[in-house]
Amino acid sequence: MKISNSVFVNQAGYPLKGPKVFTAAEAGEFELVEAGSGRILYEGVMSPLKEDRASGLAVAKGDFSGFEEAGRFFLRMKESGAVSPEFAVGERPYAALEKALLKSFYFQRCGMELTAEYAGPWSHGPCHLAEAHVHGNPEERYPQTGGWHDAGDYGKYTVAAVKAVADLLLAYERFPGAFAEPVGIPNASRLPDVLAEVQFELEFLLLMQRPDGEVYHKVTTAEFPPYDCMPEFDLAELIFSPVSDTATGSFAAGMALAARVYRELEPGLAERYAEAAKRAWRSLQGRPAAEGFRNPPGIITGEYGDKSSADEVYWAAAELFRLTGEAEYLQAAEAKLEEGWESWTAVRGNALLCRLGWAYTAGYGTLSLLDAGPGLVPEALRARLLGAWLAEAEEYAERSAADGFGISLLPEEYIWGSNMLVMNRAMVLITAEGMTGDKRFGQAALAHWDYLLGRNVLGYCYVTGFGANRVLNPHHRPSEGDGVAEPVPGMVAGGPNVRLQDETAVSLLAGAAPAACYVDHMESYSTNEMTIYWNSPAVFVAAYAGRI
């Protein structure tokens, strides 16, 4: 059977009782065929063809949600004979994928040997064991070992790390049952694997805090190592870049969130995290906000620059209020909200107020206040925030229904890390469903999930190790340097980037439609890198999708 490149499905599969929607570049009738036997088990009719600006195609949607039998299948268009990749329908079609998405964080661990027992063929020696010096002062040295490498390089960045930690903790808070089974990491604690993995990162983040409470922005070498450099051979000097208010604010928020999640299971850990959060918070008080972080002289690794720390401070205040119940934090959150409301709602509706990124973090603060128990947040404030959140979710749901591939991105929003944006918006939709019970939001979130796993114009499953058409050449140094044909599994590729921000993308993708501006090439870091904070929202969405 020759697979067509014109029938686009979730290649990981569809839940037995959930929605089952696909896209094709033709209209007319379709049939669902059992793999192996060739039996036709379901027939349907596509929607009318409609131009899809982002993909540059005219496409139609098909729906076989009424089919509820387990097995392996493919879809075939009656007129052309075009067929989709095979996929599963079952009770738990995403079980292996859920585990792989979470285990990818283990593969990013710094400072320890990844043994064959847990890492299989992707094992390697311990790395980055030396102390780092503070930028501008080679004699001032501190430990930095531990945590996760951020991406396809070996830097460790506070603001990126905290976004990843927050997504994982929020996933556990909402869907604890999704993390009941081990995923295959070393874990001698009584914590579920997700919390043990996050603890590994939190212990590193504590090393990023100075005694005065402020937090270093990142620890990296001065420049990136070669593309095929394995982590244990990256021996250049490690450097703490200066502290920043964005790092300090996000650190305070993440530690307060962690303290809340861990306090029932590990109260000792929770107390350490709470104290670190409060020290970071105190360091931000009584002085004007510093200018946004910029790389200091001689450092050319990822900058993670951010002009304003107002959203990080808002988030920190919200999380400290959730943790302590103390009015001063709620007052601080309200003050920052009032200060930022006009700018956070001016760009496009309520986008920045509900954004779940590493640079725009206000959405985490908003979600934290909305999740507070009854009567804790003044009703007028809660109503205002809920209205903004649901308005944003409504816009995503409407766009999803209109989009040929079921997602909420506008053509110009296929940017660096567009797959993170897709997953972040699915998080907003999932939480909106939880707040309202409106299934439309959940269905739109699942359409975003389908997109990540193959229902996109290129027909790629954007998670390494999965799908009939899978990513094989991610911008990820261990996967390039280890001599193993398959890349480390469970990593989310960055996705289409219409801005073409690397030489490979420019040379291979010029003139492509926005949703097609992706290439599975190791040197296309602007479309094909992985990061911990692209994987983290995917873990959240997987935890939801796996419970349908």
Catalytic residues: 153, 475, 520, 529
Q: Find tokens 């311990």 and name the residue.
A: 126
CA distance 18 to 1: 27
**CA distances (Å), origin 404, targets 286, 301, 417:** 51, 37, 20
CA distance 327 to 289: 22
Q: How many CB atoms lie within 10 A of CB 489?
A: 21
CA distance 388 to 312: 19
CA distance 205 to 215: 9
CA distance 357 to 160: 9
Angle at CA of residue 482, ends 478 and 487, nearest 5° = 65
Looking from the CA of 219 toward its CB, the CA atoms found within 13 Å total: 29
* Distance from chain centroid for Cα 347: 22
DSSP string, 140-180: EEE----SB--BSS--EEHHHHHHHHHHHHHHHHH-GGGG-
CA distance 372 to 149: 32
Three-state DSSP class for residue 15: strand
CA distance 454 to 225: 32
Q: Find tokens 């997700």 and name the residue.
A: 194
Q: Which amino acid is residue 129, in one-letter code?
A: L
Write out the H or E segment, with its range, that includes residue 293. Answer: none
Q: Is the dihedral of CA 99, 104, 110, 114 positive or negative?
A: positive
